[in-house]
Homo-oligomer: A and B are copies of this chain.
Amino acid sequence: MVSPRHPRGDAAPVPALDFSSVHAIGIDIGGTKIAGAVVSEFGEILASDRRPTPAKDRDAIVDLVVDMVQGLREGYEVGAVGVAAPGFIDAAQSTVYYAPNISLRNEPIQARLAERIDLDITIDNDANAAGWAEFRFGAGRLVSDMTMLTIGTGVGGAIVVGDRLLRGGFGSAGELGHMRVVPDGLPCGCGARGCIEQYGSGRALLRMANGIADVGGIGMRLAEQRAKHGELTGKHLAKLIQEGDPGALAALRELGRWIGAACASLSAVLDPQVFVIGGGVSSAGELLLEPIRESYLTHLPARGYHPEPGFVTAELVNDAGVVGAADLARVHAQPR
């Protein structure tokens, strides 16, 4: 299961400081798979593992994480374990209050793992872990204040202020998908209405594309694809965007306008030097960043009196969760 990327004798050069020669293990519990890795102090993955999530059995999840950690630590000096989980984590970083897609409800996962693993263990939200990885080793590495928006099926987020991850007083800061952007707007899965998730997510993009397909004109090819496959999927849309289809690009620009306006509000609150856009939709690159930037400037308060932040796409797409979880655990175990 464990696939070492470096044979034991071939590790990266050991840096000057003692603490930094200790690796950390990152575990990313997802809805369909659990990923794990031994990560160096430079964010390098030294060994990794990946298995299907026993999503309906919380005891099996704990067993699997323990087994994965035991396998991964073989042959490495590991100082800490960071576990990233989807959902609400308490401020003490020990309990998963609620994870929508897996069977964790008020689960004291830190304590359950600590009983069986003799390493410093911390729990973090998966979006926070991914954002931290971008801040330390990816698109946010040159700044002190970064806001990351993850545009996947929903909209997630992570916030770094003054070189620290913003966890919030109750542990659930950075839930950026649930900023309200339209009074009495579209209903959201969170129970509220008008959340940016309903206007700036991959699911919203599909809704917009379907709307354009319905009216013909530039929506012609969208309508064709929909008729051919029975429905439009993210894959169809991504292909049409890459081909420059005007209907698909119009949907992407509409999404970008919502995200850009939300970023203007986030500038007023958080004032980051850089916005990192991640998630599946960010693979559109400049085609997405351009309407975001344009809309941001249109909606920016006191434009002209404020330096313009950077807008960039995420860099550590696949490994961000495990790399960030490991690095947060290292920071936690060895405060500087």
A residues engaging B (CB < 8 A)? 88, 97-98, 143-146, 157, 159, 161-162, 164, 166-183, 188, 190-193, 195, 261, 264-266, 268-274, 299-303, 305-307, 309
Contact = CB atoms under 8 A, between A and B. Distances in A.
Contacts of A192: 264, 299-301, 303
Contacts of A168: 145, 161, 270-272
Contacts of A274: 169
B172 A145 contact: no
Given A180-B264, A192-B264, A306-B88, A269 B159 contact: yes
B265 A179 contact: yes
Contact of A180 (B145, B157, B167, B265): B265
Most central of A146, A188, A299 by chain B CB within 10 Å: A299
A179 B183 CA distance: 13
B305 A97 contact: yes
B191 A301 contact: yes
Nearest to A307: B170
22 contacts: A88-B302, A98-B305, A143-B169, A144-B169, A145-B173, A157-B269, A162-B164, A169-B274, A170-B307, A173-B271, A174-B269, A175-B271, A175-B301, A175-B302, A180-B181, A182-B183, A188-B301, A190-B302, A192-B264, A192-B299, A193-B299, A195-B301
A265 B268 CA distance: 13
A176 B144 contact: no
Contacts of A159: 269
A78 B296 CA distance: 44
